[in-house]
Amino acid sequence: MKIESARALKLEIASEVVPPAVSAISAEGGFSVTTFSLRKLTKAEPLVALGVAPGKTEGDVRLAVRLQRHSLQRSTALLDNIRKRAKDEVEVRFVGRIAKHALPWYRQRQRPLQTGSSVGHFKITAGTIGAIARQRKTGHDVILSNNHVLANENDAKAGDAILQAGALDKGKMPKDVVAKLTKWVSLRPNGANLLDAGIATLSRGIDADPLDYRGIGKLAGARTEPLSLGMAVSKVGRTTGVTHGRISAIELDSVVIQYDLGMQSFDDQVEIESTGATSFSAGGDSGSLILDQDNRGCALLFAGSETGGSNGRGLTYANPIAIVLKRLAIDLHGD
């Protein structure tokens, strides 16, 4: 089908097919009560993410259906209805629960700062320096990463200390403070999020090379063209290092991510699968800048699933870079 048809079908299925199917499964006791975070309830629940996947021929696309609950995977009525409406031009994958990335791999303190290395708000474990970007208003260099890496999932204030390495990687106050939290996009528990991003201004005397992506090459600025299905991408992150993959879906709506503050729903997201034998990302890679085949920044990594993808090692989710740069008023070096 054409991409315009897939976009219209996304809306149709989200409003006409998924809600009654979920109600039917719930009435039969098919969902457990552990769906929601025990810490704080939100309106977001992991159900069905819908987007656009590559078709069988060039220029053709299929509807991407990402199931986040086993009950939905077993619902033949739901899947048959979707396939019928899509005329079998559909790619269905079970991805399970999708969680933010922030886990315990050791990474060393680096001076000058290195993109792809461990970083974090002083109260969190560790994430990744995605880029050393330039603030448009001041011209100052800033660290670009996720809200949940730099702003502790909204639980922070401007001026908070940012450590490199992150606390999990033995970064300590005050000797490892390299930046101060400057700006972030708040996560919205009861609405659709578009990005998980934040920036921190480098402290005086802290040097960094904004172009060097070790193991990949030199950053060539930001990608301005739309992302293409099947496009080759790469990234360097604090946990899995350099990995390679391809874009397996774009414009994914209702992708529900589990955070400490509760479930968060995201629209217009990018999905990436590994082209190697291992996963494209893992816990702690959050905040990594994803590069296209020309080494241009194209997306900001923020979450991943444990299963799914052509090798079964999980799928990675990222914010398109254009909205990240616009909302934070920054530019990538190399342009």
Q: Where are the domains of the chain?
A: 3-99, 118-212, 215-326
Q: Can you read off the two tokens belonging to residue 216?
A: 């990949």
What's the one-letter identity of residue 37?
S
Full DSSP string of 3-26: HHHHHHHHHHHHHHTHHHHHHHHH
pLDDT per residue as tens, the chain (335 positions): 999 999 999 999 999 999 999 888 888 777 654 433 334 456 678 889 999 999 988 889 999 999 998 888 888 999 999 999 999 999 999 998 887 764 434 467 889 999 999 999 999 999 999 999 999 999 999 999 999 999 999 999 999 999 999 998 999 999 999 999 999 999 998 889 999 999 999 999 999 999 999 999 999 999 999 999 999 999 999 999 999 999 999 999 999 999 999 999 999 999 999 998 889 999 899 999 999 999 999 999 999 988 888 888 899 999 999 999 999 999 999 97
Phi, psi of 77 (to 5 degrees): -60, -45
Taking the C-alpha atoms of residue 264 and residue 81, their distance in angstroms, rounded to an integer, is 27
Taking the C-alpha atoms of residue 47 and residue 234, their distance in angstroms, rounded to an integer, is 28
Q: Can you read off the two tokens belonging to residue 137?
A: 């208003």
Bridge partners (DSSP) listed for residue 252: 269
Summarize pLDDT for 112-145 with one digit per residue, the tens: 999 999 999 999 999 999 999 999 999 999 999 9
Q: What is the CATH number of domain 215-326?
A: 2.40.10.10
Identify the pLDDT of residue 127.
93
Taking the C-alpha atoms of residue 255 and residue 249, their distance in angstroms, rounded to an integer, is 12
Taking the C-alpha atoms of residue 125 and residue 166, their distance in angstroms, rounded to an integer, is 6
Taking the C-alpha atoms of residue 273 and residue 290, their distance in angstroms, rounded to an integer, is 12
Kindly give the residue spans of alpha helices, DSSP state H, lying in 99-207: 147-150
Contact 164, 178 (CB under 8 A): yes
Angle at 256 between CA 251 and CA 260, to 5 degrees: 135
Identify the pLDDT of residue 96.
86
